[in-house]
Amino acid sequence: MYAKTAFEFDRRPTTVQIRLKDPSHGFGCHAIKISRSSLLIMTDQVGHLPDAFLVALHPDAEPRPCAVAWRRGSMARLLMLD
């Protein structure tokens, strides 16, 4: 069953962890949960993100697969794939 978290209902920016295939290239960024299956992230690294990667919604969370829906400047919308 899907567990609801405070992050899911809080539209204030929070910090999430982007996890890339090479662990040395992961980074934190600000994100706003805009639905159960999508995030809006803000980072100066948007142009360097691959089309699909992992994102951890909080430090203790298991990273979840996601894909970039669109990019614009320093923002990107991510679609959660699970």
Domain ranges of the chain: 6-80
Residue range 6-80, CATH number: 2.40.10
**Per-residue confidence (pLDDT) for residue 10, from 0 to 100:** 60
- Answer yes or no: are the C-beta atoms of 58 and 67 closer than 8 Å: no
CA 18, CA 55: separation in Å to the nearest integer?
5
**The pLDDT of residue 6:** 45
Q: What is the pLDDT of residues 18-67, one digit of tens each?
A: 888 777 778 888 999 898 899 999 999 899 899 999 998 887 888 899 99
CA 12 to chain centre: 14
Determine the Cα–Cα distance for residues 80 and 7; give it in Å rounded to an integer.
Answer: 15
Instruction: Say if residues 16 and 56 touch (Cβ distance below 8 Å).
Output: yes
pLDDT score for 1: 44
Distance CA 64, CA 35 (A): 15
pTM for this prediction: 0.78
